[in-house]
Amino acid sequence: MKESATIGRRERRKQETASSLTSVTRRLTAERGLAGFTIEEVCEQVDVSRRTFFNYFATKEDAVIGVDPEEEAQQFAADFVALGPHGWPAVIDDLITLIVQHIESSDLVAAEHTVFWRALEREPHLMVRFIGISRERDRQAAAFIAEREGVSPEDPRARAVVSILSTLLRSAGEELFDPSNTREFSEIINESLAAYRSVLTPAEPRLSDQLRPSSVLPRKE
């Protein structure tokens, strides 16, 4: 038990260090561009050694992007697949639940989000890289959704889930990071999901449709 607690504290410290390195690197990139500061300057502000920086990130570009996207995606996929197949109606619910847990545990704030996008705009090649990562994550998401539901990765339902989820996350993110927003992420995205489902629910047949003859009677000659 004691060993487990020690490992837990160690992991939290590692996450906090990585988060601090990313936060400072993003801010300096947004202010000066990647060429306008050194790794040593980042380390000085975070109060770690240059060696520690390279334990987390290979380059300043990697620090701006943040934690290893591949490792993060694999962990998310494993958590999702472990829930077991529940059928298509539950797929988005399970994904939203996991995403809410991730967002709420990551302590994202509007200021950090704004600085990140300013850094990407300052360095367009980082924007291109980020878009590439996002597309790869969409591909991976379709694959692990298909795996859990026992269908081909090319199944249109898996791609539809990814498309809907991307749209939900984009709109929810815009509201979450709006300076005037006072609502939690879970409330925002679940409200958006409910709206989607309301729009996509098949309409009840109208009475006029029910009374309409199924076929046209032949005309008498």
Residue 125 is predicted with a pLDDT of 93
How far, in Å, CA of 15 to CA of 13, rounded?
A: 5
- Name the band, by pLDDT with cuts 50, 70 and 90, for residue 220: low
- Name the band, by pLDDT with cuts 50, 70 and 90, for residue 25: very high
Residue 212 is predicted with a pLDDT of 61
Phi, psi of 151 (to 5 degrees): -125, 175
Residue 66 is predicted with a pLDDT of 85
Average pLDDT, rounded, for the chain: 84
Helices first, then strands: H and E counts in the chain: 11, 0
**What structural domains does the chain harbor?**
1-66 (1.10.10.60), 68-202 (1.10.357.10)
Closest CA to 125 of 72, 60, 70, 170: 60
Residue 221 is predicted with a pLDDT of 52
Q: How far is CA 15 from CA 12, 24, 172, in A?
A: 5, 14, 25
Closest CA to 178 of 96, 114, 128: 114
Residue 63 is predicted with a pLDDT of 95
Q: Which residues contact 113 (CB under 8 A, 6 or more apart)?
A: 173, 177
**Averaged over 10-26, what is the pLDDT?**
88
Residue 28 is predicted with a pLDDT of 97
Tell whether the model's pLDDT for residue 151 goes beyond 60: yes
pLDDT tens digits, one per residue of 166-209: 999 888 888 888 878 888 889 999 999 999 889 888 777 666 66
Provide the percentage of residues in the chain whose pLDDT is more than 90. 43
**DSSP E strands, 55-205:** none
Q: By the 8 A CB rule, do 110 and 179 touch?
A: yes
Q: What's the CA dihedral at 66, 169, 175, 94 to 10 degrees?
A: -110
Residue 54 is predicted with a pLDDT of 96
From the CB of residue 129, how many other CB atoms can be counted at a distance below 10 Å?
17
Q: For 114-156, what is the HEC assignment?
A: HHHHHHHHHCHHHHHHHHHHHHHHHHHHHHHHHHHHCCCCCCH
pLDDT tens digits, one per residue of 82-139: 888 888 889 999 999 998 887 776 656 667 888 998 999 999 999 989 888 888 888 8
In terms of Cβ atoms closer than 10 Å to its own Cβ (0-12, 13-18, 19+), residue 186 is middle
